[in-house]
Chain A
Amino acid sequence: MPVALVRIHIKYHNMLRRLTGVDMQALDLPAGCTVQTALEAISRQYGHHLHEMLFSPNGTVATHLVIFHNGQLTRDDPDGLLLSEGDELMLFPSISGG
């Protein structure tokens, strides 16, 4: 039985853009996926430098990663945040200043 997929979009900024080499990408993920699933997928795609920006050494999503889900800042548990067809994630390193 084919797995149902949802298509989401991910927008990269700052160092994340440099590491991925793209500003935006579409990603097809199994229905019922979470933000955590999406981060794991791109981490596999782009290798360990990106992985270090996304995850802490203990495997949880890094607190120095800022995630916007459909334009809203989210600090919810990425493993509990379900993604639906057409959702957009924006990812930033959590820099401040100015």
Chain B
Amino acid sequence: MFPYLGYAGKWLWVDLTEGKVESRDYDPLLAESYLGGNGFGTRLLWENVGPDVDALSPENWLIFSTGPLCGTVMPNPGRMEVVAKSPLTGIYGDANSGGFLGPELKFAGWDAVVLTGQSPAPVYLAIEDGQATLRDATELWGLTASGTEQEIRRLWGDALVKTAVIGPAGENLVRYAGIQITAQRSAARCGLGAVMGSKRLKALAVRGHGPIRIADPKRLSHLSLELQRRLLANPIFPAVSAHGTPGIVSLMNAMGRFPTQNFKAGGYENADRINADALYSRAFVRNVACFGCPVACDKVYQIPDGPFANTSLRSVEYETLNALGACILNDDLDALLAANRLCDELGLDTISTGRCISFAMELWDEEILNLDDTGGLPLRWGDMSVVLRLLPMIARREGFGNLLAEGVRRMSETIGRGAEQFAMHVKGMEIPGQDGRAQRSMGLAHVTSTRGADHLKAFPTIDETGYPDEGRRRYGADYLPELVQPLATKHKAFLVKDGEDFGAVIDSTGMCKSGGTFVLAEIYWPDIGAAIEATTGMSMSVKLLKEIGERIYNLQRCYDAIHGITRADDRLPRRFSAEPSPTGNARGQTIDIEPMLQEYYRLRGWDATKGWPTPEKLQTLGLGDVAACLWR
């Protein structure tokens, strides 16, 4: 009998080769040591998918995993984690999505779904409360993301079915294909849509009607109310709620932190044409929110007229405005939104897609690529007619699109001729919309992220422009002023480590990083500990919780380590250290991550030569078995 409430207490095991679906009990030890979500996935991946497994082979595991707070009355508890070995990077991979699928899975009575093998023909997994079956998806194969969801809903006669689907990009094994989650949100990064495609799994479809039982409902309601009050009283709540992540476009542009023209610059002269104000006045329709979220940072947009008239979409994010905007020198907002919608339908991660295109555009500029290479497509900066033609070619791996479908690192290796000096990735992952020359902690975060270049693992928000009140409240006055200064390096290793550990916990609970834990820095370790106690009945001190965060993050690093990652891979592309930023607050700045990295290894208790957790460190985290495997 699973002893904790808040969890469903069981998960689904699916062998796609054999067509078998089985219920498995949730191991209480796993819940105590890894919580759920991200931690659950990390441990299963470590135990079951070794270095000899190709990410696109049947032996890779694809893990959809909720956490104990997912679907509860906590603020913004609609998040779900997807974990697998990444076909883009060949190392640990995960992606996280908001929306409604995670809570629905819990209402159906499952904490997670774990899939392995490869189906002989396209299938989808249908979960209706306690019943789970594999169903034929031959008719769905080839459909777009929204087309797939609509068809499943039509077949079920139920408009409230929640889904995770892949589009053509996932089917065609594009290495950065994402998974689209109800409603129009994405578990975008790391190419996990390609893992789904390799298994011939078109979709998960879930309908659940059951309750989530709470250990101490009164305590949880009081806590939730208090947190909601704190969120609403936060002075920047109105701005975050009004515009969501697009709200930072112009601010980051002024900081010189808005990657432009494949990271040549950190500021775009036409940023105001693609910023939140432009988006709002051009296309805003209404606010929407993920499950149980008071922030409602999500919006529905619709282009009112012109060549893309009536194109409607939601979840337009800062990252996409950067990747399909400034980074390719595009200031045509309508075309940008149309490209965003197309990526969603094809099932492409907008960040990696945009970066592959900006990389190709720079190579065109440098005359490393020509018309023979591109199949007759001129790759001029900002030419959205070409971009809109390229997107389906990438998703279907047609012509030049087949090369772009491989991601920046493989593109640079295939093209050669000096292309690698313009390849903006870390460990094979395309760099998202930050520039370490303008914010030191982000440069470090891109390097230490366990899934390759990423801002969301550490998510250092406190020093983006400097938030002294939040910095003081969260970390204490001793760390100020440097901690909140974007160009300072002091204390940044500490900030990144704390963010990574806290983020690992948040991603293991089912809470959102945009809704109070990082963007509105209101909810912190003690609040999450209290919420876990009230929800599950598990006793959870801050010390224990921090240990869990560390355990998860260290295990991810160990997973990368057994896949050959060492200290030598912890580096930024040359551009950041060799070319001073020409724009904004960062003008004249380069970044040297070395001192911060040294400090980071020291704080983590990692071997500074190899960049791996030491056996002693792993022992203290209860990972003796992992140490024995890594250091044998």
Q: What is the interface of chain A, defined by CB distance below 8 A to chain B?
A: 13-15, 17-18, 23, 53, 62-64, 66, 68, 71-73, 75, 90, 92-98
Residues in A neighbouring B236, C-beta threshold 8 A? 64, 93-95
* Cross-interface CB contact of B464 among A14, A64, A96, cutoff 8 Å: A96
A97/B254 contact (C-beta < 8 A), A13-B275, A15-B239, A64-B235 known = no
Of B235, B461, B469, which is within 8 A of A97 by CB?
B461
Q: A64-B469, A92-B251, A98-B318 are in contact. Are A14 and B277 (CB under 8 A)?
A: yes
A95 adjacent to B251 (CB under 8 Å): yes
State which of B152-160, B242-250, B503-511 sits at the interface with chain A.
B242-250
Chain A residues, Cβ within 8 Å of B465:
66, 73, 92, 94, 96
Q: B464-485: contact bitstring with A at CB < 8 Å (1 yes, 0 no)?
A: 1111110000000000000000
Say yes or no: B467 contacts A63, CB within 8 Å. Answer: yes
B254 contact from A18, A68, A95, A96, Cβ within 8 A: A68
The answer to whether A63 and B468 touch across the interface, beta carbons within 8 angstroms, is: yes
Distance A14 CA – B465 CA, assembled complex (angstroms) = 15
Q: Is the CB of A95 within 8 A of B240?
A: yes
- B325: Cβ under 8 A from any A Cβ: no
CB atoms of B276 and A14 under 8 A apart = yes
**A14-B467 contact in complex given A64-B235, A71-B254, C-beta closer than 8 Å:** no
* Known contacts A17-B277, A73-B585; A93 and B319 CB within 8 A of each other: no
- B interface size (C-beta, 8 A): 39
Whether the Cβ atoms of B584 and A97 lie closer than 8 Å is no
Give the residue name and chain of the B residue nearest to A17 (CB). Answer: B277
Chain B residues at the A interface, C-beta cutoff of 8 Å:
235-236, 238-240, 242-243, 245, 247-248, 250-252, 254-255, 272, 275-277, 317-319, 433-434, 455, 461-462, 464-469, 486, 514, 518-519, 584-585
Pairwise interchain contact A97-B518, C-beta atoms closer than 8 A: yes
Cβ–Cβ contact A75 & B466, under 8 A: yes
Contact check, A93 vs B239: say whether CB atoms are below 8 A apart. Answer: yes
Q: Give every chain A residue within 8 A of B276 (Cβ-Cβ).
A: 13-14
Q: Would B248 and A95 count as touching, CB distance under 8 A? A: yes
CB–CB B250/A98 < 8 A: no
A14-B277, A92-B250 given; A98·B585 CB < 8 A: no
Contacts of A14 in B (CB 8 A): 239, 242-243, 247, 250-251, 276-277
Minimum C-beta distance from B132 to chain A (A): 36
A94 to B251 alpha-carbon distance, docked (Å): 8
Q: Roughly how many angstroms separate A64 CA and B462 CA in the complex, as a whole number?
A: 12
- Cross-interface CB contact of A96 among B243, B248, B272, B319, cutoff 8 Å: B248
Q: List 19 A-B contacts (CB under 8 A).
A: A15-B238, A23-B277, A53-B235, A64-B469, A66-B251, A71-B584, A71-B585, A73-B465, A75-B466, A75-B468, A92-B254, A93-B236, A93-B247, A96-B248, A97-B247, A98-B252, A98-B318, A98-B433, A98-B434
Q: Are A90 and B254 in contact (CB under 8 A)?
A: yes
Inter-chain contact B318/A15, CB cutoff 8 Å: no
> 7 extra interchain contacts, Cβ-Cβ under 8 A, other than A94-B236, A97-B514?
A14-B239, A23-B272, A68-B254, A93-B238, A94-B465, A98-B248, A98-B318
Most buried by B among A15, A18, A97: A97
Q: B519's closest neighbor in chain A, by CB? A: A97
- On whether the beta carbons of A15 and B242 are closer than 8 Å, the reply is yes
* Distance in angstroms between the alpha carbons of A88 and B514 in the assembled complex: 31
Q: Are A13 and B466 in contact (CB under 8 A)?
A: no
Which chain B residue lies CB-closest to A18?
B242
Closest 3 CB pairs of A and B: A98-B318, A96-B461, A93-B239
List of B residues within 8 angstroms of A92 by Cβ: 250-251, 254, 465
The docked-state distance in angstroms from the alpha carbon of A23 to that of B255 is 19
Q: For residue A16, which residue of chain B has the nearest CB?
A: B239
Contacts of B272 in A (CB 8 A): 23
Distance in Å from the Cβ of B316 to the closest Cβ of chain A?
A: 12
CA distance A68 to B586 in the complex (A): 13
Shortest B144–chain A CB gap in Å is 26
* Alpha-carbon distance A94/B237, docked complex (angstroms): 10
